[in-house]
């Protein structure tokens, strides 16, 4: 987990994302965010794609998928909370982009960050599949487990300076 971070950063991220109760964490993060970064209204346009940006990506042939509304560890949520977390994204992308087939990528994606309830919710929302961060090439046999497809992190093919490492990229497509 968090292979690109140092030990202190990994521990901090693990506390924030997996251990501290959301109902206690959220108010503290809200205060810190607004004090040191700004309000949602100020920052959101700088961090997130607009509806127009999404349609441009779609027109360019990129697949648009969901990753959760607030990037929660899905297995930490009740089934109803998961339905809201994923359903908010599904509704927004269907409305904004007219998409009928949507795929998900689980936030954090490590084993245990989703559960059986997550798969039920994904199916009930009409999602086509969901990917994990289990690093492996997706083989045809994996497609039977459409709620647990392996994937790679984009940082797996870049070096520390952000330069593309061609042999890492080609390894993704030539592995057994």
Q: How confident is the model at residue 165, as a pLDDT?
A: 79
Please choose, from the candidates 174, 157, 176, the residue with its C-alpha nearest in 3D space to the C-alpha of residue 166.
157
Rounded CA gap, 60 and 55, in Å? 8
Q: How confident is the model at residue 155, as a pLDDT?
A: 73
| Each residue's pLDDT expressed in tens, for the chain with a length of 176 residues | 788 899 999 999 999 999 999 999 999 999 999 999 999 999 999 988 999 999 999 999 988 999 999 999 999 999 999 999 999 999 999 999 998 899 999 999 899 999 999 999 999 999 999 999 887 777 777 777 889 988 877 777 788 788 887 776 665 565 54
Identify the CATH number of the domain defined by range 49-151.
Answer: 3.20.20.370
Q: How confident is the model at residue 173, as a pLDDT?
A: 60
Q: How confident is the model at residue 170, as a pLDDT?
A: 65
Rounded CA gap, 24 and 84, in Å? 20
Which H or E run includes 55? helix 51-59
Map out the domains of the chain as residue ranges.
1-48, 49-151
Model confidence pTM above 0.85:
no
Per-residue CA distances from 137 to 32, 132, 150 (Å): 39, 12, 7
Please choose, from the candidates 60, 67, 56, the residue with its C-alpha nearest in 3D space to the C-alpha of residue 153.
67
Q: How confident is the model at residue 176, as a pLDDT?
A: 46
Print the SS3 string covering 71-121: CCCHHHCCHHHHHHHHHHHHHHHHHHHCCCCCEEECCCCCCCCCCHHHHHH
């Amino acid at each position: 987990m968090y292979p690109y971070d140092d030990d202190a950063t990994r521990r901090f991220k693990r506390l924030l994302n997996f251990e501290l109760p959301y109902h206690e964490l959220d108010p503290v993060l809200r205060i810190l965010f607004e004090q040191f970064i700004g309000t949602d209204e100020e920052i959101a346009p700088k961090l997130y794609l607009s509806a127009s940006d999404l349609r441009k990506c779609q027109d360019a042939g990129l697949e648009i998928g969901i990753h959760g509304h607030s990037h929660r560890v899905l297995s930490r949520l009740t089934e109803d909370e998961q339905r809201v977390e994923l359903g908010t994204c599904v509704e927004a992308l269907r409305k904004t982009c007219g998409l009928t087939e949507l795929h998900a990528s689980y936030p954090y994606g490590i084993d245990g960050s989703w559960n059986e309830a997550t798969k039920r919710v994904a199916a009930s929302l009409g999602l086509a599949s969901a990917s994990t961060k289990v690093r492996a090439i997706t083989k045809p046999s994996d497609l039977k487990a459409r709620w647990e497809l392996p994937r790679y992190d984009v940082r797996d093919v870049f070096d520390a300076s952000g330069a593309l490492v061609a042999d890492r990229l080609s390894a993704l497509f030539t592995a057994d």
